[in-house]
Amino acid sequence: MNSRLIRETSPAGASAPAANDAETAAVDLSDNRLYIHRELSQLQFNIRVLDQALDERTPLLERLKFLLIFSRNMDEFFEIRVAGLKGQIALDHEMIGPDGIAPKRALAEISEIAHRQIERQYAILNERILPELVAHGIRIVRRTQWTHKQKLWVRRYFREEVAPLITPIGLDPTHPFPLLVNKSLNFIMRLEGVDAFGRDSGLAIVPAPRVLPRLIRMPLEICEGGDNYVLLSSIIHAHAEELFPGMQVLGCYQFRLTRNADLTLDPEDVEDLALVLRGELYSRRFGDAVRLEVADNCPKDLIDYLLKQFGLNESELYEVNGPVNLARLFRIASDVSYPQLQYPPFTPTLPKALKHAEDLFQVIGKQDVLLLHPYESFSPVIDLLRQAAKDPQVLAIKQTLYRTNANSEIVDALVDAARAGKEVTAVVELRARFDEESNLTLASRLQQAGAMVIYGVVGIKTHAKLMLIQRREGSELARYAHLGTGNYHTGNARLYTDYSLLTSDVALCEDVHKLFSQLTGMGKVLHMKKLLHAPFTLKKTLLELIAQETAHAQAGKPAQIIFKVNALTEPKVIRALYKASIAGVQIELIVRGICSLRPGVEGVSENIRVRSIIGRFLEHSRAYWFANGGDPQLYLSSADLMERNLDRRVETAFPIEGRKLQQRVRNALELYLTDNTSASLLQPDGQYLRLAAADGDASRNVQAELLEKLCGAGAGSAH
C-alpha cells in the first residue's frame, strides 16, 4: 500500500517512540484502504489450501485431499458467500463494509480470481497429481483407454446398475427443462432423429442417479495390476445412445449447477424452529443458481442454452478440463491401502494426571486439566460424560451441541444418562450450517430418551462449547465443567486442533451454570465472575484488554498481544488493534482463514504481523493472550473475531489460570510464530507470502513439532 494514511508528517512505526493519543488521532482508521474485503480474503484462504497440492513434502494422497478440499471450499463459497452478494444486488440492498467495496465490484473480482484458480486446480490435477498416481498403480481409466475386457464389464455395469435408475428427459413443450438438484451431476445431449411419437427437439437432459457412486473400482481380473477406477460420467457417456433407442447422440456433455444453499429464517415468523427448518432444508436443494460448471468441450450454443435456462451470465460459467464433481475423488484420497502415500498414523496421548485415572471426578476435583487435540485424546471428555451417566451421585448434565453426530459417543452417553433418570438438558443448535439435518435427528433421539432439548435463542446461534455436570458429594452439590474451543465431534477431534478444559473451579462452573440458565430460561443478563460471553461481555472485554495493552505501550512498558483465531473481520476490534500498533504494542495474529486487517501499513500497522498456518490438521483453536505488564492474561474461546460471533451468537471465552497451564498455551503459540514451512504471511496488499527456512536455518513445522512432543518419536511429520 503506497498511500500514507497519516494526516501529519511524522511517522509512527515500530522504531518510533511510543505514540501518544494525538498521534493516534492523526490516523484515519475509517479509511477503507485499511481493510480487506471479507470474501476476497476467504478466496485467498482457499488458494492457500490449493497450494498444498503442489507441496512435494506432503504425501501424494494428502496432496490430492487438499485439491479436493479446495473443491468443497469453493462449493460452499459459491453456495453461501457468492449467493449472498448476488442476493444483495437482486434485492437492491447492497451492504458495503469498511473496505468500501460494493457487491458488484466484489463479484467481478471474485469471478476473475475464481476462474484463474479453478483452471489452475484442474491443471494441477491433470499434469501433476494424476500422473503421479499412475506411477503408484492408481489409475482413473479414460474411455479411450479401456481394453476389450473392460468395455464388456463397463457395458454390463451400465445395463445392470446404471440404466435402470436413469430417467432421460427429452426436451419439448410437454417436457420442459427439469428442476435440477444443487451440485448434482447432469448431462446435456444433442440428438438427431425422430422418436416413436414423432418428437425431434434435438436436446435431452440426463441427470445422473444420485444413489450411485461417481467413481467405480474395476475388478482386478480385467486390469493389469494396480487399482483401476472408472468415472460414472464416462460410463454414461459411453452408452448414451442406449438411453435413446433408434436415435443418434451427436454430443454428450456433463454439467453441474451450484445453487444458493443458505437458509433464511425470519425469527418473527418462526413458531416451531424444527418444523420450519425441515422445510427449509428441502428448499436448499433448489435455491437460485449461482454457478454453472460444464465440460470444456461443450459447444457454445449448448452452453448459452444452459446459461439462459439458469439465468446466469458468462462470468458465472466455469469450463473445466475434467470431472465437474471433483469432490467424489475422495474415495481414492482416503484409500487406506496406500499408507506410504498418506500421513503416518499417530496415537493421541493423555496427560500424566489422566493416564491411570479410574475416577475422573477425583482428578478434576483436584486440578484443572487442559487438553490440546488432536495431539492429546478427546476420550477424557467422552469418558467423563460416560462416567457421569452411570454415576448414581450425578444428578444433572447440561450440554451444548453445535456439530456432532446423532450416533456419536457423546449423544449415546447423554441418552444413557437420560434413561438412567438424570436430568439431561441439551442445547442443540439446529442451524449449524450443513449439519442441520443431523442435528434434527439427534434432537429427536435425545427427546425420545427423555432429555430436555432446547433450541437455544431464536435469531442467535448457540456456538459455545460447554458441558456441566452436577454431582452430589456428601452434603454438598459439586459441579464439573468442560469448556472447549471445538465441537463435540469425535471425528473432528482427530482432524482439528482445539483446546479442552476440564475443571471444577467453583466460580467458573457457577458461570457455566448461569449461562445455561440464560439459554434455557428467560431473564436479565447474569453477572459472570470469570466467563466472558457473547453477545454481552466478550467483545466489550476484549476491546478493554486491547486498550489496556495500548496504555502499557504508551507508558513505555513492554506490551504484546497474541491472538489465534480462524477469522478476523470485526471492525471495532481491527481499529483497536491498529491503535495498539500505533502505540507500539507488538501484535502477532495467527489467523487461519479470513483476515480483514491489513498488516504492515506504514504508520498504522507496522507492529502487526498476520500469519496463516495450513497443514495436516485444520487449525481451529482460538486463544487471546495479553502481556498485561508482566502478569499475562489468557483466554481460550469458541469465538472468532467476527461480527456474527461477537454480536449475534452465544459464545464463550474462558480464562486459563495458573502459570503452568498458561505456559503450555504460550509455548504452543510460540511454535506457531516460529513455523517456517506451513506458514504464510499476509502482506499489505492482501496477498500471502509462503514462508521458507532461510539458508542455514532449521525447518520448523508447528504441527510436526507438537506431534513429536506430545505423541512421541515416530509419530511422523505433518509434511
Instruction: Please write down the HEC assignment for all residues of 406-468.
Output: CCCHHHHHHHHHHHCCCEEEEEECCCCCCCHHHHHHHHHHHHHHCCEEECCECCEEECCEEEE
Which letter does DSSP use for residue 177 in this model?
P
| Cα separation values, 99 from 29, 31, 103, 599, Å | 11, 8, 11, 14
496 carries a ligand binding annotation: yes
**pLDDT on residue 185:** 95
Q: How far is CA 263 from the centre of its chain?
A: 17
Residues 253 and 307 in one domain: yes
Region of 413 on the Ramachandran plot (φ > 0 left; ψ -120 to 50 alpha; else beta): alpha
**pLDDT on residue 24:** 59
Residues 458 and 408 in one domain: yes
Residues 578 and 627 in one domain: yes
Q: Which amino acid is at 109?
A: E
Domain's final residue, options 526, 549, 571: 526
Residues 360 and 331 in one domain: no
H/E element holding 574? helix 571-583
Q: How far is CA 542 from the centre of its chain?
A: 24
The CATH number assigned to the domain holding 463 equals 3.30.870.10
Active site residue 239: no
CB 158 within 8 A of CB 208: no
Residues 618 and 520 in one domain: no
Which of these, 131, 111, 107, lies nearest to 119 by C-alpha position? 111
What span, in angstroms and rounded, lies between the C-alpha atoms of 153 and 536? 64
**pLDDT on residue 12:** 35
Q: Is 600 within the bounds of a domain? A: yes
CB 691 within 8 A of CB 683: no
The CATH number assigned to the domain holding 300 equals 3.30.1840.10
pLDDT tens-digit series, residues 83-137 = 989 988 888 888 899 999 999 999 999 999 999 999 999 999 999 999 999 999 9
Residues 420 and 487 in one domain: yes
Q: Is 8 within the bounds of a domain? A: no
Residues 514 and 548 in one domain: no
What span, in angstroms and rounded, lies between the C-alpha atoms of 415 and 422? 10
Domain's final residue, options 477, 507, 526: 526
Which letter does DSSP use for residue 180 in this model?
P
592 carries a ligand binding annotation: yes
Q: Report residue 570 as a C-alpha cell.
A: 470485526
Three-state SS for 472-521 is EECCEEEEEEEEECCCCCCCHHHCEEEEEEEECCHHHHHHHHHHHHHHHC
Q: Is 51 within the bounds of a domain? A: no
List 239, 373, 463, 533, catalytic entry: 463
Domains held by the chain: number: 3
Other Cβ atoms less than 10 A from the Cβ of 343: the count is 21
The neighbouring-strand residues paired with 560 are 586
What span, in angstroms and rounded, lies between the C-alpha atoms of 467 and 381? 9
620 carries a ligand binding annotation: yes
Q: Which amino acid is at 675?
A: D
Region of 658 on the Ramachandran plot (φ > 0 left; ψ -120 to 50 alpha; else beta): left
Q: Is 77 within the bounds of a domain? A: no
Q: What pTM was estimated for this model as a whole? A: 0.90
Residues 218 and 178 in one domain: yes
pLDDT tens-digit series, residues 454-489 = 887 767 888 999 999 999 999 999 999 999 999 888
**pLDDT on residue 718:** 39
For cell 448434482, what's the residue?
A: 184
**pLDDT on residue 47:** 97
Q: Is 49 within the bounds of a domain? A: no
Residues 495 and 571 in one domain: no
Q: How far is the first Cα of the chain from the last one, in angstroms, to the nearest whole number?
A: 34
Residues 440 and 588 in one domain: no
- Residues in the chain where the model's pLDDT stays below 70: 1-25, 173-174, 195-201, 263-286, 405-406, 430-437, 458, 713-719
Can you give the residue range of the structural domain that contains 427? 352-526
H/E element holding 189? strand 185-192
Which of these, 526, 500, 498, lies nearest to 511 by C-alpha position? 526
- The pairing of strands 423-428 and 394-401 is parallel
Q: Is 605 within the bounds of a domain? A: yes
What span, in angstroms and rounded, lies between the C-alpha atoms of 501 and 516? 17
Q: Is 53 within the bounds of a domain? A: no
Q: Is 88 within the bounds of a domain? A: no
What span, in angstroms and rounded, lies between the C-alpha atoms of 209 and 282? 18
Phi, psi of 352 (to 5 degrees): -50, -40
CB 431 within 8 A of CB 648: no
Domain's final residue, options 288, 318, 341: 341
73 carries a ligand binding annotation: yes
Residues 163 and 267 in one domain: yes
What span, in angstroms and rounded, lies between the C-alpha atoms of 586 and 662? 19
Residues 248 and 127 in one domain: yes
